[in-house]
Amino acid sequence: MKIVTHKVIGLVVLFSLTVFSCKDLTDLNVNPNGVEPTTAHPNLVLSTVLTEAGKAFVNLGYQDIAGVMQHTQKDGWSGGHNDYDWGGSQSWSSYYDVLRNNQYVYDRSVALNFELHQGIALVMKSMLFGLITDLWGDAPYSQALKGEVGGAANTFPVFDTQEAIYTGILADLEKANTLLSKAKSAYTSTADAADVYYKGDPTKWRKLANSLALRYYMRISSKKPDVAKAGIEKIVANATQYPIITASADDAAMAFAGNSNDDSWPANATYDASESNYRRLKMSDTFVKALLAVNDPRLAIWANKVQIPLVVDATLPAKTDKIIDGKRYLSPDMVVGKEVNTNPLYVGLPTSIVGGSAYNLSPTAEQAAKNPHVSWLNDIYKAAKGPLLKARLMSASEVNFILAEAAQKGWAAGDAKARYEAGVKTSLETWGLASAYPTYVAQKDVAYNGTQKQIIEQKWIASWTAATEAWFDYRRTGFPELKTGPNAKRKVLPVRFYYMLDERNLNKANSDAALGRLELTPNSEADGKNSPWSKPWVLQGTGKPW
H-state helical runs in 409-532: 416-430, 437-441, 452-462, 467-477, 501-506, 508-516
d(CA 204, CA 252): 9
User: Which pLDDT band, with edges at 50, 70 and 90, does 353 fall under?
Assistant: very high
Residue 392, pLDDT > 60, answer yes
User: Which pLDDT band, with edges at 50, 70 and 90, does 16 fall under?
Assistant: very low
Residue 56 sits at φ, ψ, to 5 deg, of -60, -45
Residue 6, pLDDT > 80, answer no
DSSP bridge pairs for 322: 329
- Segment 475-494 shows an average pLDDT of 97
- Segment 136-160 shows an average pLDDT of 87
Sign of CA dihedral 501, 491, 521, 464: positive
Of 275, 482, 359, 304, the closest CA to residue 75 belongs to 359
The pTM for the full model equals 0.92
How many C-beta neighbours within 10 Å does residue 522 have? Answer: 11
Q: What is the dihedral of CA 175, 205, 429, 437, to 10 degrees?
A: 30
pLDDT tens profile 28-37? 455 555 567 8
User: Which pLDDT band, with edges at 50, 70 and 90, does 94 fall under?
Assistant: very high
- Segment 93-110 shows an average pLDDT of 98
Residue 443, pLDDT > 80, answer yes
Residue 67, pLDDT > 60, answer yes
- Segment 321-339 shows an average pLDDT of 96
pLDDT of res. 320: 98
Of 292, 373, 283, 365, the closest CA to residue 327 belongs to 373
d(CA 378, CA 278): 10
Cα 17 to chain centroid, rounded: 56
Task: Give 211's DSSP letter.
Answer: H
Of 391, 237, 432, 513, the closest CA to residue 229 belongs to 237
DSSP bridge pairs for 328: 310, 323
pLDDT tens profile 230-254? 999 999 999 999 999 999 999 999 9
Longest dimension (CA), the chain: 106
How many C-beta neighbours within 10 Å does residue 417 have? Answer: 15
pLDDT of res. 55: 98
- Segment 88-93 shows an average pLDDT of 89
Residue 7, pLDDT > 50, answer no
Residue 4, pLDDT > 90, answer no
- Segment 345-364 shows an average pLDDT of 93
Question: Which range has the worst mean pLDDT, 24-33, 39-48, 323-332, 445-454?
Answer: 24-33
The amino acid sitting at 210 is: N
pLDDT tens profile 151-193? 666 789 999 999 999 999 999 999 999 999 999 999 999 999 9
pLDDT of res. 11: 36
Residue 422, pLDDT > 70, answer yes
Asked if residues 309 and 348 have their Cβ atoms less than 8 Å apart, the reply is no
pLDDT of res. 26: 44
- Segment 436-452 shows an average pLDDT of 98
Task: Give 142's DSSP letter.
Answer: T
d(CA 130, CA 134): 6
User: Which pLDDT band, with edges at 50, 70 and 90, does 112 fall under?
Assistant: very high
d(CA 245, CA 243): 7
More confident residue, 28 or 495: 495
Residue 147, pLDDT > 80, answer no
pLDDT of res. 406: 98
Residue 372, pLDDT > 60, answer yes
Q: Are strands 390-394 and 252-255 parallel, antiparallel or unpaired?
A: antiparallel
pLDDT tens profile 199-218? 999 999 999 999 999 999 99
pLDDT of res. 31: 56
Whole-number percent of the chain with pLDDT over 70: 92
User: Which helix (H) or strand (E) element contains residue 390?
Assistant: strand 390-394
Mean pLDDT (the chain) is: 92
Residue 402, pLDDT > 90, answer yes
pLDDT of res. 30: 57
d(CA 427, CA 464): 10
How is 239-251 classified by DSSP, letter by letter? TTTS----SGGG-
Residue 533, pLDDT > 50, answer yes
Whole-number percent of the chain with pLDDT over 90: 87
List Cβ neighbours of 510 (8 Å cut-off, separation of 6 or more).
140, 156, 157, 158, 159
- Segment 406-420 shows an average pLDDT of 98
pLDDT of res. 153: 67
Domains belonging to the chain, first-starting first, are 285-382 (no CATH), 394-461+469-539 (1.20.120.840)
- Segment 49-68 shows an average pLDDT of 97
pLDDT tens profile 72-86? 999 988 999 999 999
> Cis ω on the peptide bond leading into residue 480 (within 30° of 0)?
yes
The amino acid sitting at 103 is: Q
* 100 burial via Cβ count (<10 Å: 0-12, 13-18, 19+): middle
Q: Are strands 310-312 and 327-330 parallel, antiparallel or unpaired?
A: parallel
- Segment 291-308 shows an average pLDDT of 98
